[in-house]
Amino acid sequence: MPHLLLLDIGNTNTKIGVVRDDTILGTYSLPTSRDSTADAWGLRIVQILGLHGLRSGDVSGWVVCSVVPPVGELVRAAGERFCGCPVFFVPEDLPLPLENRYARPHEVGADRLVAGYAARSLFSSRSLIVVDFGTATTFDCIQDSAYLGGLICPGLYSSAAALASKTAKLPTIALDDVRHGPRIGQSTAESLRNGMVFGFAAMVEGLCVRLKAQLASPVEVVVTGGPAKALVEVCSGIDHYQPDLLMRGLMKTSLDNAHMLRKGVFV
Q: Which residues are known to be catalytic? A: 111
Nearest CA among 112, 227, 225, 111 for reference residue 160: 227
**113 vs 111: CA distance, rounded Å:** 5
Q: For residue 167, which amino acid is it?
A: T
| CA separation for the pair 204, 186 (Å, rounded) | 25
Residues whose CB falls within 8 Å of the CB of residue 267, separated by 6 or more in sequence, listed in order:
93, 94, 95, 257, 260
Number of H helices, E strands in the chain: 8, 11
For 180-185, the CB contacts below 8 A with 24+ separation are 180/233, 180/234, 181/234, 182/234
